[in-house]
Structure 1
Amino acid sequence: MTDPSCAAPPSQWKTFRAPDKVVADLPELESGTNHSKVADRWTYPASEVHQWMTRPATAPKGRKLVFLTFDDGPDKTVTAQELTNLEKGGVPATFFMITPQMQGVPVDLLRRSLRDGNGLGVHSYSHDYRYLFKGDAAQRATHVACDYDWALAQARAILGSGYAESGFRYPGGHMSWSHLGQADAELARRGVVPIDWNAMSGDADAQMPTTVPGYLAMVKKSIAEAGNPRVVVLLNHDNKERTAEAMPSIIAWLKSQHYQFGIIS
């Protein structure tokens, strides 16, 4: 999908419609994926990660996996800080992007993220709750499908026509909304499954942590409350400077707990 047939969803960002032609892939992008070739070794399909979260007994035995995820980017300042954190920690993450925001960052930032072995996922085009989740199930399905088509088109306009991914992070999370069965079916027709999380740093809470120890305590508490699953999908946000300050400590603690790090395709 490079040329959506529906009208553009509402957005606070400038619309930049992808041309109805092949857009050259960024050199770092492995065509048909959301990452570079270097990330093949630690990439997991969204359908598998979704199953491991919803049916913990099916998770791989004898190992612990963590997927660091960052929503709401990319951001010129914080994304660069998080990429440095990941580089220094020697671990990858998945960035779920509000794709029109990609036009507000240097393309070299996206190339750096791919080169480092991170995954670039979709977190919607509009990020507008009133548009996405208003009305009955049929209306929600129409709007979610249209939003996703536009989000994918905008990603392909910058990353290249070969960009593809299979895990959609609903704004607010799938768990926060009802009557999404038809919307999920529309995503499935596009080869996409919803990806939520089972742990968080708390950086979107009303009473978000204000210190690095507070962030780390929230991560530990949230994983414990999830039953210490073998597969952890950790929610963070890519526009929070305090999250970036805390991330080295979070990464170090996860390593101390013998988690292996992966990305979601």
Structure 2
Amino acid sequence: MEANKIVDWAHLIGVIAEAGLTYASDSNDLKRYGVIKEAAQDMLSHYREPHEDLPRRVPNGENKIYLTFDDGPDPVYTPQILDLLKKYGITCTFFLMGERVREHPHIVKRILDEGHAIGNHTYTHPYMVLLNEKELNEELSRTDEAIRDAVGFAPVLFRPPYGLLNQGDIDLVRARGYEIMMWSEEFEMFDWSFPGVDNMVRLIEEKTESGSIILLHDGGGNREETVRTVEKVVPLLLERGFHFASDYLEQSRNEHGHEAAGTAR
């Protein structure tokens, strides 16, 4: 079997297991999904080298949290999400796929015009661990070019598709001037699996704390549940005193002792 098919199946099995563990209702389910997750991780270990731990939250004493969206822009769901963010007066971060930026540059412009941050999420959403250096550079460059054509600059933030990468990928991405933004592991909501709006709202309410990075998706399929989750959970978190931020780049570089930089290259 080709390596990409093995990784594809192993990753799919793994995320299904993770989703099951996230929303499991009893101990038997936890055991079953735990076994499945271990098997998937063992399969992926043959293709994923060990790498440094990347930050999964943003330490701060200001009750800041970071709501992020991957895989857009989408002509149906991204505007609906933007409408809600505007309604509540908050800013977030969107990680954009280059091929979708090419199709919907006007949505990227709206994202920027309304004060949100953007990041590179590759052009075609590949498994980075299977790409050689030339292929990865092409994925990054084509996305930068698409975003630059849409809004006049290329972003500094980067998020790896599926969260899969190795140390070589990290080194290459950083050498190109990107800051990598992952997400808090408890906040991969698996919204693409339709876990239910109430389940997602409950989980976000229960686990959000200062510095949390929440991962949702505005593109890649039917995102009706995601839109409804945003509509319900944002006012609840605002009532609890959380502040939605889009300054990850500045916070991250200050945390590591670097001079704070802008959001574009």
Distance 1:89 1:170 in 2: 29
The offset of 1:126, in angstroms, is: 1.6
The aligned counterpart of 2:170 is 184
Matches within 5 A, 1:105-116: 105=104, 107=106, 109-116=107-114
1:27-76 CA distance string (max 9 Å, x none): xxxxxxxxxxxxxxxxxxxxxxx7572xx6xx223x11111111010011
The offset of 1:153, in angstroms, is: 1.3
Distance 1:106 1:52 in 2: 30
The aligned counterpart of 2:12 is none
1:81-120 CA distance string (max 9 Å, x none): 001000111101111010211232261x333222211112
Q: Is the 8 A contact 1:145 1:183 kept in 2?
A: no
Please state whether the residue corresponding to 1:67 is helix, strand or coil: strand
Matches within 5 A, 1:147-226: 147-160=139-152, 163-173=153-163, 176-177=164-165, 180-198=166-184, 199-200=186-187, 202-204=189-191, 206=193, 208-211=194-197, 213-223=198-208
Counterpart of 1:126 in structure 2: which amino acid? T
Distance 1:83 1:220 in 2: 21
Distance 2:113 2:65 in 1: 20
Distance 2:149 2:192 in 1: 33
Distance 2:149 2:154 in 1: 12
**Runs of 4+ residues over 4 Å off in structure 1:** none
Distance 1:91 1:153 in 2: 28
Q: Is the 8 A contact 1:82 1:244 kept in 2?
A: yes
Distance 1:147 1:88 in 2: 34
If asked which structure has higher relative contact order (CA below 8 Å, sep 6+), I would say 1
The aligned counterpart of 1:7 is none
Distance 1:231 1:202 in 2: 17
More helix, by proportion: 2
* Distance of aligned partners of 1:93 and 1:125 in 2 relative to their CA distance in 1, 3 Å threshold: same
The offset of 1:146, in angstroms, is: 2.6
The offset of 1:257, in angstroms, is: 2.2
The offset of 1:147, in angstroms, is: 1.3
Distance 2:70 2:143 in 1: 14
TM-score (norm 1): 0.65
RMSD after superposition: 2.2
Counterpart of 1:104 in structure 2: which amino acid? E
Please state whether the residue corresponding to 1:202 is helix, strand or coil: coil
The offset of 1:201, in angstroms, is: 6.1
Percent sequence identity is 23
Counterpart of 1:231 in structure 2: which amino acid? G
Number of residue equivalences: 191
The aligned counterpart of 1:144 is 136
Counterpart of 2:115 in structure 1: which amino acid? G
TM-score (norm 2): 0.65
- 1:233 pairs with 205, 210, 213, which one? 213
* Distance of aligned partners of 1:221 and 1:205 in 2 relative to their CA distance in 1, 3 Å threshold: farther
1:222-250 CA distance string (max 9 Å, x none): 43xxxx4x211110000312111121211
Q: Which runs of 5+ in 1 are unaligned?
A: 1-49
Q: Is the 8 A contact 1:70 1:96 kept in 2?
A: yes
Counterpart of 2:189 in structure 1: which amino acid? G
1:180-219 CA distance string (max 9 Å, x none): 112111111111122110042624464x4223x2221121
The aligned counterpart of 2:47 is none
- 2:237 pairs with 224, 232, 254, which one? 254
